[in-house]
A = this chain, B = another copy of it.
Amino acid sequence: MSEVLDRPSIRTAHAFKVIGQPAPRIDGPEKVTGAAKFTADYTLPGTAIAKVVRSPHAHARITRLDVSKAEAYPGVVCVLTARDIADLEREPTSRNHNVLARTQVLYAGHPVAAVAASTREAAEEAVALIEVEYEVLAPILDPLESIRRETATIVHEGAEEGVHIDRSEEQIHAGGAGGLAEEDEIAELNNVSSQVHFKRGDVNAGFAQADFVVEGRWISNSVHQSYLEPHSTLAAWDAQGNLSIWCSTQAQFHIRDMIARMVKIPISKVRVVSPEIGGGFGAKFGVMVPLTVLLARKAGVPVKHVLTRSEDLVAATPAPYTVTEVKLGANRAGKITAMKARVVMDTGAYPGAPMSIATILLAGSYEIPHFELDGYEVLTNKASVGAYRAPGAPNVAFGVEAAVEALAARVGIDPLEFRLRNVIEEGGKWPNGNTLPAIGARSVLEALRAHPISKQVLKQDEGRGYAIGAWPGGAGAASAYCRANPDGTFQIITGTNNLTGSTTSLAQIAAEELGVPLALVKVVTADTDSGPHSPAAGGSQILYTMGHAASLAAKACREQMLDLAARHLGVEKAQLTVDGGVVKAPNGKVLTYRRIADLAMQGPGPIVGSGAHRPGRPFPGYAATCAIVHVDRETGQTTVRRVVTAQDAGTAINPMSVEGQMQGATVQGIGMALTEELIYNQDGRVANPTLLDYRLLTCGDLPSIETVLTSVPTEAGPYGARIVGEPPIIPPGAAVGNAIVHAIGKPVYTFPATPERVFRVLHSNSA
């Protein structure tokens, strides 16, 4: 179910033929029939299988490591230990570089050694023969404790030159926004790997103007991205030291560069191939690649490493446990006067948490005259965290949107009306100084106001909640090739993965530019050797970057074909029109693209073109959700009765695809609110490392997800299209949280709001 609210378009005069038409994903049949090939399906001759020995302790010193029995085991090609990677950083503090623990283990699941063997069975048996002894240390698990203690153990006790922070991946996710954060020098706080501070006006003066103030500390627990396909890598070195990597990734060029830097070879010697990817959601940036690459280097044969589901849950890069403290004030007129907020984000054993963008987004949706925002990325003895779709944003939305809803209640205004009075508009400024272009924040709130869900009469024990969220939109460097085929079809060649259906959208863009039906355009992802440089399929950037590159490449081909047609038909090029792959001259003569492609083959040469683009600044996207839930007061069980997510997609290239993105994101956001949580026990081990115990929502848990598209075009995207992937995961969790609060009449501070937690809130004495 989807409605489109039309707004004045920057291109209304243009009647699109392919753009804006709902198009099923071109790659759909392959995937639903199970025929698509993923990394684990690929094998090279002589490939060895990798298995990893992992620390059972969250914090310990390695006192003995004996791999001799494993090395002698039949079928074992080699065993990799820290001694084999002494050429890397001496005491690495980056999660990508510390592929194997050296002197100490920093989280339960930390790799200690890796085996490459001719079969999986041999590898598993050899792993069991590796002897490791530890001196167990007390783990630090709570970031608030980690940041507070003044003389306690620090997580990276061995690091001599401070903690190395590689922000290259984080910047991809956060686009221009993250890169512009005012990042201070690292202060002398225990285990704080980075911190940011934003200030506007005089926050004390702001609170003095407030008639109402609310305050609270919200916690969102660590969740896992739960992609269908676990991390998988196949790595092979050739005789000349060239390295080929097949892996499940969203970011093949990023992995190429990262691995080249790590093993100190030119990037042109690294080839990354991305087969189909079974989901990434921000986590598939190659964090599991280095170990396989280094194991293959020692093994001298190709090595394949596929994580089990449990390994992936325990030792990949989940989304961070986040503490969001918010104090928010408003006057009687319902205008927000001040915000003071702090984000403490648990980054696990290595830096890399999306703390910076999360802190910015604390004040990303509202006009706030006075604020002080502080962000801390804090090390603990858990698996290092990674990006998860709009990384950091849903986490802090739980706090900000709960505070907004509570404040509206205190002021006595409808929470949606309160948001509309304070919503940020074009010309507004984000905490990092970004001045906003035309944005759809107001439009998505208005879409919810116009939707029947806002008028729906609530039943017993039901509550309604709202939330809004923003994402900046990435801005990487993109290029594409286009080629006319001799049968009248076209090929768009990219170097980016088809993570979210972008293959279909890019085909629509090229088809529109060329003037042909969608079926005549094929989009191909080439590897990093043969493909054009393309950005990661992350940070909601493909449309703003590859959308233009594909459009320009298609245009380059079209112009060459029109030049040729004009010469051939004896008319001026400007007089020609194209429709359905047929070029028409005013004199009634026509030439098909097929014929022109053939003429070119005989004449100047095949029709090929290229296009490149890099957006100048972020053009954020906004989404808002309204949810109605029912809470069973006997059990604390929350049931989502109705949920509507509205998103401003500008000119939606493929409304069907946008709707799919919104539905998937809404389910994920609600999962964070209700069931999903990596539970660490007191020793720092994950207590629920299977999908039986880590509870993902299914279709049976939820109503049909309703979506509304609004259309505030942006100059950033082709045809006024706006980013799609990340905004809609931000508000659903917070909206469900607010709906629970509305239903039970008491605040909820910890998410997921499991039945047990809600039950406790219901039966506690606090208001």
Contact = CB atoms under 8 A, between A and B. Distances in A.
B477 A601 contact: yes
A481 interface: yes
Contacts of A238: 30, 35-36
Contact of A605 (B525, B549, B609): B549
Given A44-B37, A257-B486, A526 B530 contact: yes
Contact of A491 (B485, B487, B524, B529): B529
Interface stretch (A66-74, A106-114, A610-618, A722-730): A610-618
A608 B35 contact: no
Contacts of A486: 257, 267, 533
A531 interface: yes
B606 A533 contact: yes
B605 A30 contact: no
Interface string A13-52: 0000000000000000110010111000101110000000
Contacts of A483: 479, 532-533
B522 A606 contact: no
16 contacts: A30-B238, A33-B239, A35-B239, A266-B487, A266-B489, A267-B487, A268-B522, A478-B605, A478-B606, A479-B605, A481-B481, A481-B532, A491-B530, A526-B530, A530-B530, A609-B610
A217 B55 CA distance: 83
Interface in A473-499: 477-481, 483, 485-487, 489, 491, 493
Contacts of A268: 485, 487, 489, 491, 522
A30 B242 CA distance: 10
Contact of A485 (B267, B478, B480, B526): B267
Q: How large is the interface on A (under 10, 10 to 19, 20 to 34, 35 or more residues)?
A: 35 or more
Contacts of A605: 477-479, 549, 611-614
Contacts of A239: 29-30, 33, 35
A604 interface: yes
A517 to B, nearest CB: 13
Interface in A223-242: 238-240
Contacts of A601: 477, 533, 614
Q: Which 10 A-B pairs have the closest CB atoms?
A: A605-B612, A526-B530, A35-B239, A533-B606, A477-B601, A33-B239, A479-B606, A608-B610, A479-B608, A268-B489
The listed residue with most B CB atoms (<10 A of its CB), out of A29, A257, A483, A491, is A483
A587 interface: no
A231 B238 CA distance: 24
Interface in A575-618: 600-614
Contacts of A522: 268, 529
Contacts of A602: 477, 614
Interface string A83-98: 0000000000000000
A606 B600 contact: no
A533 B608 contact: yes
Contacts of A41: 44-45
Given A238-B30, A483-B533, A614-B605, A477 B600 contact: yes
A525 B604 CA distance: 22
Nearest to A32: B239
Contacts of A45: 37, 41, 43
A525 B530 CA distance: 7
Interface in A374-400: none
A50 to B, nearest CB: 18
Contacts of A604: 612-614
A491 to B, nearest CB: 7
A588 B526 CA distance: 40
A614 to B, nearest CB: 4
Contacts of A524: 529-530
Contacts of A35: 238-239
Nearest to A605: B612
Interface in A483-538: 483, 485-487, 489, 491, 493, 522, 524-526, 529-533
A481 B483 CA distance: 10
A44 B37 CA distance: 9
Nearest to A556: B610
A45 to B, nearest CB: 5
A610 B481 contact: yes
Contacts of A36: 238
Nearest to A493: B530
Interface in A440-497: 477-481, 483, 485-487, 489, 491, 493
Nearest to A40: B45
A603 B529 CA distance: 23
A245 to B, nearest CB: 15
Nearest to A557: B610
Nearest to A260: B487
Contacts of A530: 491, 493, 524-526, 530-531
Given A37-B45, A486-B257, A608 B30 contact: no
A526 B268 CA distance: 15
Given A29-B240, A239-B35, A267 B489 contact: yes
The listed residue with most B CB atoms (<10 A of its CB), out of A487, A526, A608, is A608
Contacts of A43: 43, 45
Given A239-B29, A530-B524, A608 B612 contact: yes
A603 B610 contact: no
Contacts of A491: 268, 529-530
A373 to B, nearest CB: 28
Interface string A652-683: 00000000000000000000000000000000
Contacts of A607: 612
Nearest to A598: B477
Interface in A601-652: 601-614
A56 to B, nearest CB: 34
Contacts of A612: 600, 604-608
A48 to B, nearest CB: 16
A338 to B, nearest CB: 37
Given A493-B530, A609-B610, 8 more contacts: A267-B486, A268-B487, A477-B606, A481-B610, A524-B529, A601-B614, A605-B611, A605-B614
Contacts of A606: 477-479, 532-533, 612, 614
Contacts of A485: 267-268, 533
Interface string A153-177: 0000000000000000000000000
Contact of A240 (B30, B529, B549, B611): B30
Nearest to A560: B612
A478 B602 CA distance: 10
Contacts of A610: 481, 556, 608-610
A45 B304 CA distance: 14
Nearest to A616: B603
Nearest to A271: B524
A33 B239 CA distance: 7
A478 B608 CA distance: 10
